[in-house]
Amino acid sequence: MYLTKEEEQIQSGEAGETLRKAIEILVALGDIYGADRLIPIKSAQIAGVSYKTIGDAGLEWISDLEGQVKVPATLNPAGMDMEDWERLRISPEFAEKQKRIVQAYKKLGIRCGCTCTPYTLEGFSAGYGDHLAWSESSAISYANSVIGARTNREGGPSALSAALLGKTANYGFHLDENRVPEVSISVECSLRESDYGALGYVAGKIIGNRVPIFRIKDTPEKDDLKALGAAMAASGSVALYHVKGVTPEACRLDFREPEEKIIIERSQLDEVYESRKRAGKEPDLITIGCPHCSAAELKKVAELLGGKTVSKETWIFTSRELKNRYPEYIRSIEESGAKIVCDTCMVVSPATNSYSCVMVNSGKAFAYVPGMCGAESVYGDMEVCIEEATGGKGKKAGGSH
Ligand code: F3S
């Protein structure tokens, strides 16, 4: 891989040990994947934040780093709400380690937004054709597919290295030839809301890590695409997809029709919803917000919960920035007894581990909760989740409404 004079000096340690390690990681990846050079990036999003997933070894690695990031960089969800961790019964020992991890990132100049929807943060926008180094799989899928930006599936260390150098290795999804659809998926039924998460769950299992182009009858909203991509990245490892007539590259570029064609029917999506019937138990935790709720989703949850009381533990995940921006939705949700939780999620927080059956409206959470939290997961759309949370009948809150 070609390195500039300045990059060679960094490689030989002249700019300090942190940057030497950072370039070593990027060059190693570049050599493995055949990159020709390093290219500048616009931003970085860094996974590997929850103490639950990175442990003491990760904490130590990050704490040893010095310097400042060269491009805007933000963090993936941590293992707890950084301001209100006691509410979900996180242990003080866990909280102490988690705070040290976030502090170590902060010291490097990284914004501690702790969200998997960095594209909703003020001042963190990504545009068509921008090169990025993002590392949370749903955010990667959204950046590549919905925004038309370009990022590989970075690991935490490589995204952090890219942030420190302001560059990444030029391979994979940074190159036009790897962004071409490899398989065509026709969806035979109409889709609404959580159908997109169910579709992503089914499609990801079939296509693995290939780039699909969907033919869908309906016109999906951005949140529908967010759910589709998140689920495909979890049940498979899809980092980029196109939707004919909808996503930016499918609209601007003249893709050749892939030879392989797959049809997905309603009955395959129904099987995901039937997880509720198949479950051997009743859900004891209801969670919404994987990926973190957008403003529109918070509004919908607030409307569905308005004037009702939850009778089951109910957690709604969003970014702290959106929580602060929409106090009226937050108030309405919290009046029901549901908890708004920021900086973390049902998968990366240890809080979920003490429940046995988690109801979700996310194909990604549906795929990950069993392995990551040791609980069964069942799938339902947002309305059904809220019905489950409120005891099925939408009880009025204590007569006060
Ligand atoms: Fe985000 Fe956690 Fe889901 S990081 S995409 S809410 S598993």
List the chain pLDDT tens, one digit each, 401 residues.
Answer: 999 999 999 999 999 999 999 999 999 999 999 999 999 999 999 999 999 999 999 999 999 999 999 999 999 999 999 999 999 999 999 999 999 999 999 999 999 989 999 999 998 889 999 999 999 999 999 999 999 999 999 999 999 999 999 999 999 999 999 999 999 999 999 999 999 999 999 999 999 999 999 999 999 999 999 999 999 999 999 999 999 999 999 999 989 999 999 999 999 999 999 998 898 889 999 999 999 999 999 999 999 999 999 999 999 999 999 999 999 999 999 999 999 999 999 999 999 999 999 999 999 999 999 999 999 999 999 999 999 999 975 443 333 32
Q: Is 291 in the pocket of ligand 1 (CB under 6 A)?
A: yes
pTM above 0.85, yes or no: yes
**75-112 CB burial, b ≥16 within 10 A, e <16:** bbbbbbbbeebeebebeeebbebbeebbebbeebebbb
CA angle (313 as vertex; 139, 341 as ends), nearest 5? 40
Q: How far is the CA of 365 from the centre of ligand 1 (A)?
A: 7
Which domains are present in the chain? 5-176 (3.30.499), 180-273 (no CATH), 275-389 (3.30.499.10)
Q: Is 348 in the pocket of ligand 1 (CB under 6 A)?
A: yes
| CB within 8 Å of 146: residues ≥ 6 apart | 222, 225, 226, 229, 247, 248
Mutation pick for ligand 1 pocket among 348, 368, 373 (CB with most ligand atoms within 8 Å): 348
Q: What is the pLDDT of residues 182-211, one digit of tens each?
A: 999 999 999 999 999 999 999 999 999 999
Q: Is 116 in the pocket of ligand 1 (CB under 6 A)?
A: yes
Nearest CA to ligand 1 atom 3: 290
Q: Is 363 in the pocket of ligand 1 (CB under 6 A)?
A: no
CB 211 within 8 A of CB 240: yes
Q: Is 368 in the pocket of ligand 1 (CB under 6 A)?
A: yes
Nearest CA to ligand 1 atom 7: 347
Cα separation, 340 vs 301, whole angstroms:
11
